[in-house]
Chain A
């Protein structure tokens, strides 16, 4: 192709402009803003690292961080597990399986505020669906969102309801596993559970890895459902909710920017840790020869 040397820049130019306007400049500014006291009405006042020091003493901040980390630590593995179980069940040639697939996939289609409102209504103490079902089998009504200790389980229930939506990547991964691996395992007399443990899980590990990273990032940034649903005792005040409140309710822009930086560092650290751990448990077929050789040499 006969092209001018710099012609490609004509195509990526919009992105370069956007990159400087909406990424580089804001990042530089955020670096400064995080070290100011600023209510947007007056000029920002430089306070150095005071915001960061104040955050470490702010009980609401620590609570929001704890709630968010706790939720991610439980809901991400639980969601991955549930999605895999659903995908394995759907990866069969039963009659009518596509109906089940559509039904289980629905939470990925219907999402957003409509569904958050629905859950607020379902979890309602007096008129909600869950307490209706509980009372019909003779169990007491529970304050799912009004009893602080039940708020976390309620959020967990909501995230597990959506587990079917995450099943697709696993289903695609399962369909890529060559049949001869299972046949070989069967010849060796492996049971169903052993096949799952020693064939399915390792072969799915790249997909699990990807979903783990996305899950951690998504969990730390949780906003929409928590904003709508809330929860007693600040148990539903996730990190991003508190950041939003600081910035757009209390107009503490410097403080909120410092929170954003801490969030960024936490996400970055967790992502790097996951990447670091991946060599121990993520299995890539193309790498198997190399790693075997390495192990041989170590002996």
Chain B
């Protein structure tokens, strides 16, 4: 018995050491980011570099807000993210409800097509869609980024929400039907409220994807005052003498919304990954 206990203790210690090494190497780069964001300009380019900042130089954050024009970028990102979120969540739910609750001729064929578009990489349609939007003069506006979503949302989300709606027992709807409710009222009053957890999870997946999207804004937006945060920050990639202090400060500020959502809705965040794992 004691031998077994000692063995367990040894295993636990080994696990703690390994987990600590892993966690440290994950967190350390992020701490370096925070440290850089508080360093003064001279200390950043000191050789050898210092681990800790020389005091808290908040002016990096002030510079990020003024010189990178953080607030404009932030607002642009927010507008696109919110519009994409609305289309991704509600239009996907609307379409998914059609697939989950109705038997209509051709339903299975259409659903198979939804599934096949999940497998189709967006790169193949990217150039023709770009050319289409440039023909109607939508380049350099957010329209190409937000309008497609309102035509069907996202196929992955349609699939996930359909599965979720199928798991809602139909008895719940029957009393509403007896009361003479139409299908749209059942969708709004019964299906959506019961699906809040799934909708939250999908909302978070959509939010994270939109907030971080680089390729879309890169292709469609030309004017600096229309740039999103990822696009605005990406402009610094080729600058020869980068001011790393303000840039790291701006990068941290760009992460704040995602971190806030994670902190507030950690469970749904985690569920998002489990949910997308289930379909495998």
- List A residues at the B interface (Cβ < 8 Å): 1-3, 5-12, 14-19, 21-23, 25-27, 29-30, 33, 40, 86, 89-90, 92, 94, 97, 99-100, 103-115, 117-122, 126-129, 132, 135-136, 161, 164, 168-169, 172-173, 206-207, 209-211, 213-214, 217, 221, 223-224, 227-230, 240, 243-244, 247-248, 253, 256-257, 260-261, 263-264, 267-268, 271
Contacts and interface: CB of A to CB of B under 8 A. Distances in A.
Given A23-B117, A129-B49, A227 B32 contact: no
B123 A114 contact: no
B127 A169 contact: no
Nearest to B236: A117
B152 A15 contact: yes
Contacts of A18: 148, 151-152
Contacts of A260: 123-124, 126-127
Nearest to A107: B26
Question: Interface SS of chain B: helix, strand, loop or mixed?
Answer: helix
B128 interface: yes
Nearest to A247: B127
A109 B126 CA distance: 27
Nearest to A136: B48
Nearest to A9: B104
Interface residues of B, number: 98
B19 to A, nearest CB: 4
Nearest to A248: B219
A110 B255 contact: yes
A217 B104 contact: no
27 contacts: A3-B102, A8-B98, A8-B99, A8-B107, A15-B153, A16-B110, A22-B125, A40-B134, A100-B19, A100-B20, A109-B262, A113-B229, A113-B251, A113-B254, A114-B255, A121-B32, A127-B45, A127-B46, A128-B49, A136-B48, A169-B280, A213-B280, A217-B121, A227-B218, A227-B237, A253-B131, A268-B119
Question: Interface SS of chain A: helix, strand, loop or mixed?
Answer: helix
B173 interface: yes
A121 B252 CA distance: 14
A221 B123 contact: yes
A121 B277 contact: no
B244 interface: yes
B163 to A, nearest CB: 15
Contacts of B277: 168-169, 172-173, 207, 210
B38 interface: no
B215 to A, nearest CB: 6
A244 B23 CA distance: 36
B71 interface: no
Contact of A12 (B98, B103, B150, B255): B98
Given A18-B151, A40-B134, A100-B19, 7 more contacts: A7-B183, A8-B103, A118-B248, A119-B29, A169-B274, A221-B121, A257-B127
B26 A113 contact: no
Contact of B258 (A15, A105, A109, A135): A109
B273 to A, nearest CB: 4
Contacts of A136: 48
Contacts of B101: 1, 8
Contact of B127 (A30, A107, A128): A30
B146 interface: no
A297 B27 CA distance: 54
A94 B177 contact: no
B6 to A, nearest CB: 16
B40 to A, nearest CB: 14
Contacts of B121: 217, 221, 263-264, 267
Given A117-B237, A121-B248, A210-B277, A264 B123 contact: yes
Contact of B151 (A11, A17, A108): A17
Nearest to A21: B151
A86 B19 CA distance: 8
B33 interface: yes
Contacts of B259: 109-110
A24 to B, nearest CB: 9
B27 A15 contact: no
A247 B218 CA distance: 12
Contacts of B27: 103, 106
Contact of B12 (A7, A26, A94): A94
